[in-house]
Amino acid sequence: MRSNLAPVVSAVFIALIAIAAAPNVAMARESIVASKPLPAPVGHAQPTPNGFLSDEDANADEEQRLSKFDAQQHLLDEQLDKSLNICRC
């Protein structure tokens, strides 16, 4: 009879340990979560206005460069149209 009683006693002992430890685990989780929010992973942070540089001069240079390119392309398009001799009636 003693051999049948050993597994039951050990199961009850393990259950008592689990019940006693459950509140401590729950309190530990709450303290970790309540302490402060975790930072966002790299690449997932929300942008802020301070994170952007004022590139007004660079934007103006880029717009001027694109304007020159567009004018040049327009001239090339006109030359191509004249060389194709397309009738636009």
Please, what is the end-to-end C-alpha distance for the chain in angstroms?
A: 111
Range of the domain at 18: 1-37
Does this model's pTM top 0.75? My answer is no
- Condensed to tens digits (0 to 9), the pLDDT of residues 4-14 reads 777 777 788 78
Indicate whether 48 belongs to any domain.
no
50: in domain: no
Asked if the structure places residue 6 within a domain, the reply is yes
- What's the rounded Cα separation, in Å, for the pair 6 and 12? 10
Residue 63 belongs to a domain: yes
User: What is the C-alpha separation between 27 and 57, in angstroms, rounded?
Assistant: 56
What does the pLDDT look like over 43-89, one tens digit per residue? 777 777 777 766 677 777 888 888 889 999 999 998 988 888 766 66
Same domain? For 29 and 61 the reply is no
Structure tokens at 83: 């060389």
Q: What does DSSP assign to residue 53?
A: -
Structural domain count of the chain: 2
